[in-house]
C-alpha cells in the first residue's frame, strides 16, 4: 500500500476543511507530496483555497537559513504572500499575527526528537491558537524514527526551545499525536483537527519508497537522522559534531583529539549496536572551522538495539577522561548551560563532573519513559 501524508489526504479527500477561510500556513521545504509538489504551491493555486500568510520556523519557509540564525519577516518571492518568522525575536505567534486569519495549518516533517525546534514551534502555535480561538489543522506526517523511545524527560525548570514540554529526547510520536497530547494534558484549549496519514503503522522511514527531503540543512540523509540522537548533545560542548563537513552529526572531534587513543578507549566499553572509525576532518564552518580535528565517525549497526543518548554520553565520558583540560561545556547563556537544555536537566552534567558512570547517571530513565508511554498510548493515531 502507498503511504500518504496528511497533505496528500487533505488535497485529495478533505479540502473542504479549509475552503472559504483565510488561511495561514506554518511550513518549510519539507512540506511536500511524495511526488515533490509543494504545499504552498498546491494551496496557493487551488481555486477553493485562500492562502494569505506563511509562517516560517528555524531555517525559514524555504529551508535556506543556517542553524540558530534569526530570521526576519519577508515577502515570499514566488507567491507574493507575507512570511512571518517564528524564529526571530518572537517565537510564539502573537494575536496580531493571527488576527486576519480564520484558520491556520501546520505542515512540517519532524524527525522524532525533542530538541528539534519545529516541535517547539508547534507547541507555541497550539498555545496561541487556544488563546486566540483560532482553529488549527495539522497535516500529519510519519515519524521517520518509528515508535521507539529513548532518553529522559525535561524537568520543569529546564524547559526551552529545544525542550518545551516534558517528553523524552526520542518520543516515538507524530506531530499530530503530540499536538493532541499537549492540548489535552496541558489544557491548551485549542480547536485541533489532525488530518491523518494513510498506510503508516510506526515503520522506519526507509521502509517506504519515499524521497528524503532534508528537514534541516544538517540532516542530509535518513542515516544522519538515526545518528542525530547519539551526537546532538555534543552541541552543548566545545567539541565539533561534524557541522561544516560532508558528515554532519556523524563525526565527533576536536583539534586536540588523537583518534586512535579515543577508539581504544571506546572499544573497552563494548557499547552495543555501534561501531567507530578514526577520522580527521576540517570543518569549513561552525566549531573549529578551518582547523584539523581528530575524532571518530559513528556507525549504528542495529537501530533496534542502539541506546542513543547513553552512547553519546559514553563517547563524551571517554573524551573528558582523555582530554580533561581541553574539553569543556559551552559557556552558559542567561545562567543556563546549553548542554543542560538539550538534556532537560543539569543532573547529567553535574554527575559527569562528579565522576559518576553513565549507568549511574541514567538510572531512573526507564521508569520515566514507561510512565510517559502509558500516557502516550491514548494519543496514538496509528
Query: Which set of grid coordinates corresponds to residue 341?
Result: 537544555
Q: Do both 230 and 171 map to the same domain?
A: no
Q: How confident is the model at residue 116 (pLDDT cuts 50, 70, 90)?
A: very high
Q: Do both 37 and 170 map to the same domain?
A: yes
* pLDDT of the residue at 131: 98
CA atoms of 245 and 247, how far apart (whole Å): 5
Contact 308, 230 (CB under 8 A): yes
Q: Do both 194 and 234 map to the same domain?
A: no
Percent of the chain at pLDDT > 70 equals: 98
Asked if the structure places residue 248 within a domain, the reply is: yes
Write down which residue in 215, 240, 267 finishes a domain: 215
CA atoms of 21 and 320, how far apart (whole Å): 56
Helix (H) or strand (E) holding 23: strand 22-27
Q: Do both 239 and 201 map to the same domain?
A: no
CA atoms of 15 and 324, how far apart (whole Å): 58
**Roughly how many angstroms between the first and final C-alpha of the chain, as a whole number?**
15
Query: Which set of grid coordinates corresponds to residue 129?
Result: 491558537
Mean pLDDT of 31-44: 97
CA atoms of 112 and 115, how far apart (whole Å): 9
Contact 28, 57 (CB under 8 A): yes
Q: Do both 145 and 89 map to the same domain?
A: yes
- Mean pLDDT (the chain) is 96
Q: Do both 178 and 284 map to the same domain?
A: no
Mean pLDDT of 195-210: 97
Q: Do both 79 and 185 map to the same domain?
A: yes
User: Over the range 86-124, which residues count as b (16 or more CB within 10 Å of their CB) and which as e?
Assistant: bbeeebebeeebbeebebbbbbbbbbbbbbbbbbbbbbb
- Model pLDDT for residues 70-85, shown as the tens digit of each residue: 888 899 988 999 999 9
Contact 118, 58 (CB under 8 A): yes
* pLDDT of the residue at 150: 98
User: Please, what is the Cα angle at 294 between 66 and 282, to 5 degrees?
Assistant: 40
CA atoms of 120 and 47, how far apart (whole Å): 32
Contacts of 34 (CB under 8 A, 6+ apart): 2, 3, 4, 5, 8, 210, 211
Asked if the structure places residue 351 within a domain, the reply is: no
Strands (E), 28-162: 50-56, 74-75, 82-85, 103-107, 136-139
* pLDDT of the residue at 68: 64
- Model pLDDT for residues 229-249, shown as the tens digit of each residue: 999 999 999 999 999 999 999
Mean pLDDT of 188-202: 98
* pLDDT of the residue at 311: 98
Asked if the structure places residue 331 within a domain, the reply is: yes
* pLDDT of the residue at 77: 87
Give the SS3 label for residue 100: coil
Write down which residue in 215, 245, 262 finishes a domain: 215
Total tally of structural domains belonging to the chain? 2
CATH of the domain at 302: 3.90.1150.140
Other CB atoms within 10 A of residue 48 CB: 10
For 246-296, give the DSSP string: SSTTTEEEETT--HHHHHHHHHHHT-TTEEEEEEEE--SSSTTTTS-EEEE
69, pLDDT greater than 80: no
Contact 108, 74 (CB under 8 A): no
CATH of the domain at 53: 3.40.50.12170
331, pLDDT greater than 80: yes
* pLDDT of the residue at 67: 63
Q: How confident is the model at residue 62 (pLDDT cuts 50, 70, 90)?
A: confident
Asked if the structure places residue 370 within a domain, the reply is: no
Contacts of 69 (CB under 8 A, 6+ apart): none
User: Which has the closest alpha carbon to 338: 1, 97, 68?
Assistant: 68
Q: Do both 135 and 274 map to the same domain?
A: no
Contact 137, 103 (CB under 8 A): yes
63, pLDDT greater than 70: no
Residues forming a β-bridge with 281: 293
65, pLDDT greater than 80: no
Asked if the structure places residue 353 within a domain, the reply is: no
Q: Do both 128 and 237 map to the same domain?
A: no
Give the SS3 label for residue 295: strand
pTM for the structure as a whole: 0.96
Asked if the structure places residue 155 within a domain, the reply is: yes
202: containing domain: 6-215
Mean pLDDT of 278-292: 97
Write down which residue in 215, 234, 259 finishes a domain: 215
Amino acid at each position: 500500500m502507498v503511504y500518504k501524508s496528511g497533505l496528500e489526504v487533505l488535497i485529495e479527500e478533505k479540502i473542504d476543511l479549509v475552503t472559504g477561510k483565510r488561511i495561514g500556513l506554518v511550513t518549510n521545504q519539507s512540506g511536500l507530496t511524495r511526488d515533490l509538489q509543494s504545499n504552498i504551491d498546491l494551496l496557493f493555486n487551488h481555486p477553493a483555497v485562500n492562502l494569505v500568510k506563511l509562517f516560517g520556523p528555524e531555517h525559514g519557509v524555504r529551508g535556506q537559513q543556517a542553524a540558530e540564525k534569526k530570521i526576519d519577516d519577508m515577502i515570499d518571492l514566488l507567491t507574493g504572500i507575507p512570511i512571518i518568522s517564528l524564529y526571530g525575536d518572537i517565537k510564539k505567534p502573537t494575536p496580531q499575527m493571527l488576527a486576519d486569519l480564520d484558520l491556520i495549518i501546520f505542515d512540517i516533517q519532524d524527525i522524532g526528537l525533542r530538541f528539534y525546534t519545529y516541535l517547539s514551534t508547534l507547541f507555541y502555535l497550539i498555545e496561541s491558537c487556544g488563546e486566540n480561538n483560532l482553529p488549527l489543522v495539522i497535516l500529519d506526517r510519519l515519524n521517520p524514527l518509528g515508535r521507539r523511545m529513548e532518553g529522559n524527560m525535561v524537568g520543569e525548570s529546564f524547559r526551552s526551545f529545544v525542550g518545551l514540554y516534558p517528553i523524552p529526547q526520542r518520543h516515538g510520536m507524530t506531530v499530530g499525536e503530540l499536538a493532541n497530547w499537549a492540548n489535552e494534558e496541558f489544557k491548551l484549549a485549542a480547536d485541533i483537527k489532525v488530518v491523518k496519514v494513510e498506510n503508516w503503522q510506526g515503520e522506519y522511514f526507509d521502509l517506504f519508497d519515499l524521497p528524503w527531503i532534508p528537514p534541516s540543512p544538517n540532516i542530509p540523509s535518513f542515516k544522519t537522522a538515526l545518528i542525530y540522537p547519539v551526537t546532538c548533545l555534543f552541541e552543548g560542548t566545545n567539541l565539533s559534531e561534524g557541522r561544516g563537513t560532508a558528515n554532519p552529526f556523524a563525526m565527533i572531534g576536536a583539534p586536540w583529539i588523537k583518534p586512535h587513543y579515543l577508539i581504544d578507549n571506546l572499544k573497552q566499553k563494548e557499547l552495543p549496536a555501534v561501531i567507530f572509525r578514526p577520522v580527521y576532518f576540517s570543518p569549513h564552518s561552525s566549531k573549529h572551522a578551518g582547523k584539523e580535528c581528530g575524532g571518530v565517525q559513528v556507525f549504528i549497526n542495529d537501530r533496534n538495539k542502539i541506546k542513543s543518548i547513553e552512547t553519546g554520553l559514553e563517547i563524551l565520558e571517554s573524551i573528558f577522561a582523555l582530554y580533561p583540560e581541553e574539553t569543556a561545556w559551552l559557556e552558559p547563556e542567561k545562567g543556563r548551560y546549553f548542554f543542560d537544555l538539550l538534556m532537560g536537566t543539569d543532573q547529567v552534567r553535574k554527575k559527569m563532573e562528579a565522576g559518576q558512570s553513565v549507568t549511574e547517571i541514567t538510572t531512573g530513565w526507564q521508569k520515566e519513559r514507561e510512565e510517559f508511554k502509558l500516557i502516550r498510548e491514548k494519543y496514538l493515531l496509528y
